[in-house]
């Protein structure tokens, strides 16, 4: 059995275990066949006193793949501006607005402007929540020797 600590980012960790021995878990992580927390990939790992510590990084979200201009155009669009208002505000032509929106649709893998607005707004909200100053810890259980198992309670940053 291998105990595993996933360091998701500066404020989030996940604790779990695998019935496999440490060397098999390491092989599976290296081969990218070990299940990881959503939207992450392993950056580095080390075994410390028999516990595997895995530093993760997030896969880039659609919003992170946007160019600064695409993001500005989408911010204006989600605020209710029309194509012409966006063009006038940014001092670009309406076809250039369309060009930036088409590029954003491709990155979000959507077909319509309404889908783009909905996905952008949802990802922006998720991005905002992820940037809160909290740390996630797990619920105590005997599967992890009285420590934490998987993401659970949120603690304000000042409490640790």
Q: Which helix (H) or strand (E) holds 158?
A: none
Label residue 94 by pLDDT band (50, 70, 90): very high
Residue 112 predicted with pLDDT over 90: yes
Tokens representing 105 are: 């649709």
Query: Is residue 116 domain-shared with residue 145, that is, in the same domain?
Result: no
Same structural domain, 76 and 95: yes
Domain count, the chain: 2
How much of the chain is in helix, strand and coil states, percent to nearest 5?
A: 45, 30, 25
pLDDT of residue 155 exceeding 60? no
Domain that holds residue 115: 62-129
> Are both 75 and 18 inside the same structural domain?
no
Q: What is the pTM of this model?
A: 0.51
53 vs 142, higher pLDDT: 53
pLDDT tens per residue across span 38-55: 777 787 788 887 788 888
């Amino acid at each position: 059995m291998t105990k595993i600590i996933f360091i998701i980012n500066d404020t989030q960790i996940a604790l779990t275990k695998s019935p496999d021995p440490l060397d098999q878990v390491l092989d599976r992580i290296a081969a990218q066949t070990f299940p990881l927390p959503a939207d992450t990939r392993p950056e580095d790992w080390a075994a410390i006193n028999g516990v595997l510590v895995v530093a993760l990084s997030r896969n880039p979200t659609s919003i992170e793949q946007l160019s600064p201009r695409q993001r500005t155009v989408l911010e204006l669009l989600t605020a209710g501006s029309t194509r012409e208002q966006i063009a006038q505000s940014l001092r670009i032509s309406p076809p250039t607005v369309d060009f930036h929106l088409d590029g954003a649709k491709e990155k979000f893998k959507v077909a319509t402007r309404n889908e783009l607005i909905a996905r952008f707004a949802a990802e922006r909200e998720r991005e905002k929540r992820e940037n809160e100053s909290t740390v996630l810890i797990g619920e105590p259980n005997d599967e992890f020797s009285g420590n934490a198992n998987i993401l659970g309670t949120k603690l304000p940053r000042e409490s640790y």
